[in-house]
Structure 1
């Protein structure tokens, strides 16, 4: 497998899952500084011009949630996803919230052109980011973390997703120290071999 990623983007969540799964993969760095993601070569991989993209035997897969689920299916012995249908739904509830709300809140800081044509609107969106990201942290603290991790004592796919987004908080003007449950969660994740591995590879 090949994982197309850019450092400190949501693609890191998939890298963490792959490390947890013990599956072999080749990380392929996409240089956002030179806008490589928008070039014609990468368009053959992901015409959306975004990361992650995962090349597997059956083709090319995109979208973080889909890739995380694929890794769980490809490595069932790693137990990255619960068997209980209620716990599975709770895991996906958090993942869908992260994809639809928290990640979008963050994107308003640098990706204002997705929602507005006038550059004068971008500053207003950027100014709102600390507030909306803090509101997401409050929601995650109250409803997303049911223990040290999303489902309690054991990690799952949602934890890899959440951890990656939480690495953006300080840059978004949110102090992690204001959210003790998230701070403890991040500290616990940083002790995991998977997170240490992606950090050593320069992904974080």
Structure 2
């Protein structure tokens, strides 16, 4: 069985949603960030980056990075149709995921993880102060260029939506009101209604 290392409130939950959407059995293993478990030798032996998610395959291989894990899950369950067969649609889906990983998630991380980029407290404070502006700019891009209807691909779900759902759930905590972005505000409850999200919530992961 697949084993997913996750922490509530983190992007790792997108991978849990992918497993649920794909109908794949998995064992969720919580990494207790409050106890700094991600920094301990036991977890660093699994993921030397000290981050989640990490996925152990049935062959015992350890895989990391959200986008890569979502692609892997989609490949394991092609019948779920989580990656489009059309090349241009697939490119759009991946462009959204790469944007979330490289830009929007990083903007969010500046609020609490400034030590990744700077040492001085005043630098951390400056990054924190910038978060509402940079996350708002990202939300504007998501609304104008990423969502092409109900979902990233219009009328059907893909792995990009699972990623987007988690990231967009952070925006209000980053000082960006959802109501300012009606497409995002409609997208989130649409995702909440899915069985995958309900299942992950029932497991206490989300």
TM-score, normalised to structure 2, is 0.98
Aligned length: 204
The aligned counterpart of 2:87 is 85
What displacement does 1:170 show?
Answer: 1.3
| Separation in 2, partners of 1:119, 1:4 | 31
What is the SS of the residue equivalent to 2:49? coil
Deviations 1:55-95 (A, max 9, x none): 00340000000000000000111111100111000000000
Give the aligned CA root-mean-square deviation in angstroms. Answer: 0.6
Write out the 4+ residue segments of structure 1 that deviate beyond 3 Å after TM superposition: none
Greater mean deviation of Cα atoms: 153-162 or 118-127: 118-127
What is the SS of the residue equivalent to 1:136? helix
The aligned counterpart of 1:25 is 26
Matches within 5 A, 1:193-204: 193-204=195-206
What is the SS of the residue equivalent to 1:51? coil
The aligned counterpart of 1:134 is 136
- Say which of 170, 180, 183 aligns to 1:181: 183
| Separation in 2, partners of 1:178, 1:70 | 34
The aligned counterpart of 2:151 is 149
| Separation in 1, partners of 2:99, 2:179 | 22
| Separation in 1, partners of 2:177, 2:167 | 14
Deviations 1:96-127 (A, max 9, x none): 00000000000000000011011121111011
What displacement does 1:157 show?
Answer: 0.4
| Separation in 1, partners of 2:103, 2:127 | 14
Deviations 1:133-156 (A, max 9, x none): 010000000000000100100000
- Say which of 163, 174, 177 aligns to 2:165: 163
| Separation in 1, partners of 2:204, 2:109 | 22
The aligned counterpart of 1:103 is 105
What is the SS of the residue equivalent to 2:62? strand
What is the SS of the residue equivalent to 2:34? coil
- Structure 2 gaps of 5+ residues are none
